[in-house]
Amino acid sequence: MPDAPPLTLSRSVHGWRRRFSRGLLDRLLPHATQATDEPLPLAGIHRILVVKVSHTLGNTLLVTPLLRELETAYPGAEVDVVTRSPVGAQVFAGFPCVGTVHVLPRHAFREPLTWLRRVRAMRRAGYDLAIDVDIRSQTGRALVNLVRPRHSLGFIGPAKQSRVNHGIDVPESPRGIGALPVYLLRRARRDADYGRYPAPQLRLSPAEREAGRQRLAAVLANSPQTRVPTSDATVPPVIGIFANATGAKCLPLEWWTRFLGVLEPACADHAIVELLPAFARSMLEDRYPTFFSSDIRGLAAVQSALALHVSADCGVMHLADAAGAPTVGLFDGTDPGQWAPGGEGGTHVAIAGRTPEAVAADVIAHLRRGDALS
């Protein structure tokens, strides 16, 4: 296989570069001031920095439960966010507590001047609290130490070589990626109530939701593929299908054809719309009406009008969940304990070793029950 050596070499170089970067950061950056056993102050925290350096849509959306928690814990504070996601500002636009969204280059060593300018701006801000929400990323820990906050907070463990003032052990539970930062803050403050964890939330406005409903109605009313009688005045409930995902999570056309061959007749009173991926091409051979938007909030607004969103585990699944759409994530290979939809109408279906027809039966049962699968 002639393509294998270049791929192996590329992975080797990438791995070496990551190890080199982490080692260099660990040697060059100062450690945080002395760790303390005292709880995080309940007052006097006015400027907060949340650090999540991932570039993916899903990871960015999973910062929003912490923002919701910070609104409750420090209601008068302003929160800045560090991300590598180009859509971070759109994701956090609905949170009035969010001030500046610092978007870092994806590769610091390729754009060192841009990276350093962002760090200098954060250092000048004079944060009372900086939170490294990741349980693994050494870059996030380095940034927290670089900005020199009065209080620094993060998980401690083998993947975190630099200290923070308030270090919390990674718990066995909760395991959800969105719940872990909330647990981190609650544990550091020693809050008494360890109850329900907030779900991801995009905070769409009523105007955005209405615009999404109208766009979805227009798609159905003007598409020759619509199979349920509809008009601008009469819109049936809609099932949204997003058939793309990264790598091995992307299910083939034949899988979706068999799945929809069961779902469609069983839900004959529902219309089906395909939500298109970023490259704006149908994954289902244009069998159904399609909707495409390069605007994250525009896509989420349409998702918010769905009766059900179905997709593999991916960023668009988390977007539907954060938009408030009943969401079913199809999981094979990734851990639903960490990544399953966390919203009130969210659930997951394991698909490994199962037929598309059996998976469709579970999705139909979920749609009819209107609550989460066990």
Q: Is residue 227 located within the same domain as residue 358?
A: yes
Is 257 contained in some domain?
A: yes
**Domain count of the fold of the chain:** 2
Residue 223: other Cβ atoms inside 10 A: 17
Cβ neighbours of residue 258 closer than 8 Å, sequence gap 6 or more: 355, 356, 357, 360
Q: Is residue 221 located within the same domain as residue 101?
A: no
Is 56 contained in some domain?
A: yes
Low-confidence ranges of the chain (pLDDT < 50): 1-11, 14, 24-25, 27-28, 31-32, 371-374
Distance CA 231, CA 276 (A): 22
pLDDT of residue 189: 95
- Give the global pTM: 0.88
Give alpha helix (H) positions in 34-81. 57-61, 64-73
Q: What CATH number has the domain bearing residue 246?
A: 3.40.50.2000
Q: Is residue 153 located within the same domain as residue 265?
A: no
Is 248 contained in some domain?
A: yes
Which of 138, 158, 189 is at the close of a domain? 189
Sheet holding 290-291, edge to edge: 290-291, 271-275, 238-242, 308-312, 327-331, 346-350
Q: Is residue 134 located within the same domain as residue 91?
A: yes
Q: Is residue 254 located within the same domain as residue 311?
A: yes
User: Domain range spanning residue 118?
Assistant: 35-189
Is 27 contained in some domain?
A: no
Q: Is residue 143 located within the same domain as residue 248?
A: no
pLDDT of residue 232: 54
pLDDT of residue 235: 76
Q: Is residue 342 located within the same domain as residue 230?
A: yes
Is 135 contained in some domain?
A: yes
Q: Is residue 130 located within the same domain as residue 247?
A: no
Q: Measuring CA to CA, how many Å separate 54 from each of 269, 276, 312?
A: 40, 23, 20
Distance CA 346, CA 329 (A): 8
Is 305 contained in some domain?
A: yes
Q: Between helices 112-125 and 138-146, what is the axis angle to 10°?
A: 50
Is 201 contained in some domain?
A: no
Q: Is residue 184 located within the same domain as residue 211?
A: no
Which of 87, 217, 72, 67 shows the shortest CA–CA distance to 131?
A: 67
Which of 189, 216, 231 is at the close of a domain? 189
Q: Is residue 356 located within the same domain as residue 273?
A: yes
β-bridge mates for residue 152, sequence order: 130
Q: Is residue 58 located within the same domain as residue 144?
A: yes
**How distant is the alpha carbon of residue 77 from its chain centre?**
23
Q: Is residue 225 located within the same domain as residue 329?
A: yes
Is 196 contained in some domain?
A: no
Q: Are 61 and 32 in contact (CB under 8 A)?
A: no
